[in-house]
Amino acid sequence: MKGLIDYYNECYIDYRILWRTNKNLSLHYGFHDEKHKTHDKAVINMNRVLAKTAKIKSKDRVLDAGCGIGGSSIWIAKNLEAEVTGLNVHEGQLKIARYLSKKNKVESLVKFVKGDFTDTGFPDSYFDAVFGLESICYAENKKDFLKETRRILKNNGRMVIADGFLKKENLEINEKKEMEKWLDGWYVPNLAGINEFRIYLEELGFKNIEFRDITENVMPSSVRLYRASIPAYPIGKFLELVKIRTKKQTGNIVSASYQYKTLKKGLWAYCIFYAEK
């Protein structure tokens, strides 16, 4: 966990520059479609797509599991008037999220707390919906997250996840190495397989399970990262050698390249899972 926290401490500047987090308040790929073609619009649109999928409505109690700097929590509160708890292990990101909630005047609806989404400490049957946007990949054991989610959801409560999932089983040696170059640089321990994750949901008793492959909707962002990595790598490597940038920052650039290469090859897919308790 310390490695992940250090990664975000050192690489947040890259997100601010390339991902415009100061404008869209988010660290995820976004959802590109005919109405949302620009980067900022697509990133914000992902909140809309997932909230609609999870049927979030006014007065719902929502957990934003792995909330980053709070962009999704703030969007949900501002647009749907739901009560949102953003959960994150990174205290620095939580401070930013709290500042942004006040700036957006939703602090009465949103609170941000430090904690682990595999062991939240919340009461049983507490939330109407659990929302996980590019955060569940950081769980070493994805089933632990799903167990905790089912515990804290009310009966008929909804869960929605958008994240990367392993698409190809039995990777060849060179494919494993390429995946490692992507995942290691972003401090992701592993990806769950698509079928594996569905089986977890079924075993734990979730119902009305829905799956959607939205790879084509995130591909413009994947390409954006890849194109940025091409000139950034030699510059970043030189700055690492002269001690201006860090090894983690160079690894971040390498990951930006390999996330696209592996996605293009079909080794993984970007997917939405929805399920109910």
Would you say residue 41 has pLDDT above 90? yes
pLDDT of residue 202: 98
List, for residues 119-149, the tens digit of each pLDDT value.
Answer: 999 999 999 999 999 999 999 999 999 999 9
List, for residues 83-107, the tens digit of each pLDDT value.
Answer: 999 999 999 999 999 999 999 999 9
pLDDT of residue 108: 96
pLDDT band at 235 (very low <50, low <70, confident <90, very high): very high
For domain 2-171+190-227+268-276, give the CATH number. 3.40.50.150
Mean pLDDT value of segment 191-207: 98
pLDDT band at 167 (very low <50, low <70, confident <90, very high): very high
Domain ranges within the chain, ordered by starting residue: 2-171+190-227+268-276
List, for residues 1-15, the tens digit of each pLDDT value.
Answer: 778 888 888 888 888
Q: How far apart are the first and last CA of the chain?
A: 29
> What does pTM read for this prediction?
0.95
Would you say residue 255 has pLDDT above 90? yes
Would you say residue 20 has pLDDT above 90? no
Any idea what the Cα angle at residue 95 is, between residues 104 and 77, rounded to 5°?
35
pLDDT of residue 67: 96
Which residues lie closer than 8 Å to 247 by C-beta, 6 or more apart? Answer: 240
pLDDT of residue 22: 82
The secondary element (H helix, E strand) that includes residue 184 is helix 173-185
pLDDT band at 21 (very low <50, low <70, confident <90, very high): confident
Q: For 228, which DSSP code?
A: H
Neighbouring CB atoms inside 10 A of 115's CB total 16
pLDDT of residue 189: 96
Any idea what the Cα angle at residue 119 is, between residues 271 and 128, rounded to 5°?
60
pLDDT of residue 272: 98
pLDDT band at 213 (very low <50, low <70, confident <90, very high): very high
CA torsion, ordered 222, 211, 159, 184, to nearest 10 deg? -40
